[in-house]
Amino acid sequence: MYTPPFKVVIPARYASTRLPGKPLRLIGDRPMLQHVFELAQGSGAVTVVVATDDQRIEAAAHGFAARVCMTSKAHTSGTERLGEVVKRMGWVDDEIIVNVQGDEPLLPEVLISQVARDLAGHPDAVMATLAHALSGATEADDPNIVKVVRDRNGYALYFSRAAIPFRRDSDAFDASGLLKHIGLYAYRAGFLRDYVMLDPAPIEQAEKLEQLRVLWHGMKIHVDLAMQLPGPGVDTEADLRSVEALLRTAGIR
């Protein structure tokens, strides 16, 4: 299956309310950011760049030979940070850029190439992302898990922290058809330049979901079903220990 050339940017911030210094926290004998960088390298990306505003992260990334782009501290989202990277790197408008979160050390490499391929296959979309089926009521009710509804052609209708679509006539909860969004995005470089010029949307500010800015302004996001299920991300100390145990079981240090 042909995958067009694509680049990966890993936005990495030092500040984290629940886990300060998160990108540099050790999982085994390596910082979490290095685990993410290495899986991005294994995805087939032609270039992998760490984007940060913190010199501690810059120094650590240089320690494992990563390419680093220093960015402004003023950005309010990873997408805005990617827009600055595109400008600084001089990437041309039609290049495909995949945003890989720096706290996803168990992300399957195949999903990175999948989302790049999906964007290339939908020229009317400005973004592509992935989703998979919810596991049940616990996930549906969790506001930290983002849900998405697609149209018949796979384009996003809405993203929400609430359980959508709501089952008005159902007495018992039914998770069938509900999709959990995976925070992995592909964009074209030209769109990233334009994104920073878009006004924030009321629905974006209400849900705290930056992708809603795109839908609010009438643009399309294609949502493909993930070829593999991703492992858990890292938001807390407990998450960190859990991921470390999973990697140890898999023989990865």
Query: Model confidence over 91-114: pLDDT tens digits?
Result: 999 999 999 999 999 999 999 999
pLDDT of res. 175 = 65
The CATH code for residues 6-245 is 3.90.550.10
Burial class (CB in 10 A: 0-12, 13-18, 19+), 245: exposed
C-alpha 252/C-alpha 34 separation (Å) is: 13
CB 33 within 8 A of CB 24: yes
pLDDT tens sequence across 206-218: 999 999 999 999 9
pLDDT tens sequence across 142-195: 898 999 999 999 999 999 999 898 877 766 656 667 899 999 999 999 999 999
pLDDT of res. 253 = 63
pLDDT of res. 176 = 66
C-alpha 23/C-alpha 93 separation (Å) is: 29
pLDDT of res. 206 = 97
Going 133 to 163 to 118 to 13, the CA torsion angle's sign is: negative
Boundaries of every domain in the chain:
6-245
pTM: 0.93
pLDDT of res. 170 = 67
Question: Read out DSSP for 25-67?
Answer: SEETTEEHHHHHHHHHHTTT-SEEEEEES-HHHHHHHHHTT-E
C-alpha 135/C-alpha 25 separation (Å) is: 29
Placement of tokens 């039609």 in the chain? 94
